[in-house]
């Protein structure tokens, strides 16, 4: 990864839209909602789903959630999504009408999941089952982070899967699952095709989304103060994202 500028705020969304068709790809945790100690402890703002629908309407449907969470899990917290979505790190991609793009999420083999659960229990970590894999969360026991990453990488390598790192989490996912692949899938279909894409995200896994947007003539917008990134722009926090989107 090379360092981008990411030193200033992006131009106002209305200004970008005035230059031609724009598409937005939005991470969920740490971008649209504040991070929480555990994945089920988030507190999304009231009406978030309907507000995203308004943003999508302004963009003629060119708005999508691209998250490590499963789409069903996101809907559990904010209600039915009125926009396109890619959950499970891009392994479950759906158009706004629910049409599946690609083969859908690949479930983690039971033997791998069992080893993750045992490791989590033995090391005071939180295990999260996902449609596409499994995650070890160590926000409540950060000293165990290095061991969690080493264990997940070895387990993934042994079984032909991939280990992805995030903020106080490491996940085992299918090798084909990443947010850049999801962005490229959307950009190949209407209404996203031919637009200038922007990806908003805070985590390391969002860098693949930034890269896909840069390749297509757009940019990445990093949320927070992480330094190493290929993003062009930066917004400081979730509140500033809401303001930039005019929620």
Task: Look up the CATH number of the domain holding residue 122.
Answer: 3.30.70
| 29 part of the active site | no
Q: Are residues 205 and 97 in the same domain?
A: yes
* pLDDT tens, position by position, 108-120: 999 999 999 999 9
Say what the pLDDT of residue 222 is.
98
Catalytic position from the list 27, 29, 202, 203: 27
The residues of the chain scoring below 50 in pLDDT are 1-3
pTM for this prediction: 0.84
Q: Is residue 236 part of a domain?
A: yes
Say what the pLDDT of residue 2 is.
45
- 81 Rama class: left (phi>0) / alpha (psi -120 to 50) / beta: beta
Residue that is written with structure tokens 């031919």 in the block: 194
Enclosing domain of residue 151: 110-173
Residue pair 213/232 in contact (Cβ under 8 Å)? The answer is no
Question: Strand 196-201 and strand 84-87: pairing?
Answer: unpaired
Q: Are residues 88 and 20 in the same domain?
A: yes
Q: Are residues 143 and 228 in the same domain?
A: no
Say what the pLDDT of residue 164 is.
87
Q: Are residues 92 and 208 in the same domain?
A: yes
* pLDDT tens, position by position, 210-243: 999 999 999 999 999 998 999 999 999 999 999 9
Say what the pLDDT of residue 46 is.
96
């Amino acid at each position: 990864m090379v360092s981008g500028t990411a030193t200033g705020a992006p131009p106002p969304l209305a200004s970008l839209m005035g230059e031609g068709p724009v598409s937005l790809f939005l991470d969920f945790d740490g971008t649209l909602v504040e991070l929480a100690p555990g994945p089920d402890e988030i507190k999304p703002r009231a009406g978030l789903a309907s507000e995203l629908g308004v943003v999508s309407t302004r963009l003629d449907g060119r708005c999508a959630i691209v998250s490590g969470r499963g789409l069903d899990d996101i809907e559990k917290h904010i209600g039915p999504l009125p926009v396109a979505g890619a959950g499970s790190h891009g392994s479950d991609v759906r158009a706004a009408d629910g049409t599946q793009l690609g083969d859908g999420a690949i479930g983690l083999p039971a033997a791998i999941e069992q080893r993750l659960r045992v490791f989590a229990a033995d090391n005071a970590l939180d295990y999260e089952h996902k449609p596409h894999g499994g995650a070890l969360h160590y926000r409540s026991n950060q000293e165990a982070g290095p061991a969690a990453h080493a264990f997940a990488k070895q387990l993934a390598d042994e079984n032909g899967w991939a280990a992805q790192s995030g903020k106080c989490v490491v996940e085992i996912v299918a090798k084909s699952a990443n947010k850049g692949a999801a962005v490229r899938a959307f950009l190949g279909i209407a209404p996203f095709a031919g637009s200038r894409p922007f990806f908003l995200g805070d985590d390391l896994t969002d860098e693949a989304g930034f890269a896909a947007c840069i390749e297509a003539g757009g940019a990445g917008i990093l949320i927070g103060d992480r330094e190493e990134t290929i993003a062009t722009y930066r917004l400081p926090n979730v509140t500033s994202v809401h303001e930039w989107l005019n929620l």
